[in-house]
Amino acid sequence: MVNGVGAIDSRLLGHLFSSAPMHGVWDDAARLQGMLDFEAALARVQSRLGVIPQTVGEAVSEKAKADLFDLDAIGEKVPLGGNIAIPLVKALTAKVEGAASGYVHWGATSQDVIDTGFMLQARAGIAVLRADLVRLGGACAVLADAHRATPMVGRSFMQHGLPTVFGLKAAGWLDTVGRLIARLDTVAEQSLALQFGGAVGTLASLGADGAAVRDQLAAELGLPVPPTPWFTMRERIVEIGSALGAIAGIMGKIAGDIVLLMQTEVGEVFEPSAPGKGGSSTMPHKRNPVGAATARGAAIQAEARAGALYQIMDQQHERAVGGWQAEWGLVPELFVLTAAAIAPLIAVIEGLEVKAERMRANLEITNGLIFAEAVMMKLAPMIGRDVAHHVLEGASKRAVAEGLHLKAVLTESDEVRAHLDEAEIAAIFDPLGYVGSAEIFIERALEHWRSSRASDEG
């Protein structure tokens, strides 16, 4: 098999668009082991229930270890049957000794093996993503707490809007990461499930024992048992994919914020520096946002795969043609790319250099126009909001036209001075004087984060 085609497995790109822990959850050995875990658990349960001889469970479990199998040999045979389960079951049967070999895969079908193996992998993958998000959220919490009173420009339509504080931006990241963790928890609880239905979902091959085997098999594997087999009802897969797509999307958004704040003209934050990191092949002075760029690149690829999962929900009758098979590539890549979108952001946020002095300097770029709403709201109770808006609109236009600071224009305005003296006007131009409930919002985000993590520990 040729290496280096897909980004997540490329020797050249894999360190960018892969995550070692997540890759270990979804590599070929892990895929094989998930399926073998199903076969071993099935044999043990059926042995206990007396459906098959009691010695079979132990005999199958002893051989159900991925390192005993030749992955290349199995892979070469996959095209003949159209899925991994067929050659794997044959290989497992050949390894189980004696009469026990005749009871391997008893009453099961290929999709039972593949889907349940996938669910075991997804459970492990969700745990990896959750741990990464907890670490990322912890870094965001540190920033939110440290920069409660670090004023900066709040931007609307990419333009200077009003003053805010960097701690609130970080708190917004934190709050969203917390929700993503909660969503993963919900997916783990509601979307993971055993798949075991036999040929068309009736388990007819097990006669009266089908439901009992199914229930105990779910317990053996630690997976929920749904009321019916779900061969072609793939909303479970889409729910998992949707949660990962949302994670990837938010990683792209946070990375995008950092990229914009790192622009030369802005210069309000910088990724942590390291020898050889962020340089240019031709411009020696460059300090590129490589971590954020990598996160965005992985996120875009992950979102594409998450979106594609919606296209495979229309599956035919009891067994699908094409849609199910498409999941085998889409879902593992989605997990790996989502993890790859989180990983660089952890390093970026944990080591983020915040330039508070540049943030404050940028507040003055508009010569005070960023405080126009603050002055308007100060005047509104005295002259009405519409009149105050008209006064500030005119003052702002004059400030721009004549290159004056808004404060100077207002100080000369008879309409304004009739209600505000010079000291009152000057006081309005304190950035921290017009950040509203930012401190409350930050504290609420931090408290929710702390209580959620305390629940984890509990």
Q: Report the C-alpha gap between 331 and 368 in whole angstroms.
A: 51
Q: Report the C-alpha gap between 341 and 180 in whole angstroms.
A: 14
Closest residue by Cα to residue 304 from 359, 245, 357: 245
Phi, psi (deg, nearest 5) at residue 137 = -60, -40
| Catalytic residue (one of 205, 273, 280, 437) | 280
Residue indicated by tokens 């914020």: 257
Active site residue 319: yes
| Catalytic residue (one of 155, 319, 358, 360) | 319
Q: Report the C-alpha gap between 265 and 255 in whole angstroms.
A: 18
Contact between 369 and 160 under an 8 Å Cβ cutoff? The reply is yes
Question: What is the pairing mode between strands 353-354 and 269-270?
Answer: antiparallel
Q: What tokens were used for 302? A: 């992950």
Active site residue 280: yes
Phi, psi (deg, nearest 5) at residue 68 = -90, -5
* Cβ neighbours of residue 193 closer than 8 Å, sequence gap 6 or more: 119, 218, 223, 224, 225, 226, 230, 236
Phi, psi (deg, nearest 5) at residue 375 = -65, -45
Question: What is the pairing mode between strands 159-165 and 151-156?
Answer: antiparallel
Closest residue by Cα to residue 220 from 408, 388, 37: 37
Rounding to the nearest 10 degrees, give the CA dihedral for residues 4, 27, 305, 11.
Answer: -20
Handedness of CA 154, 156, 162, 168 (dihedral sign): negative
* Residues recognised as catalytic: 280, 319
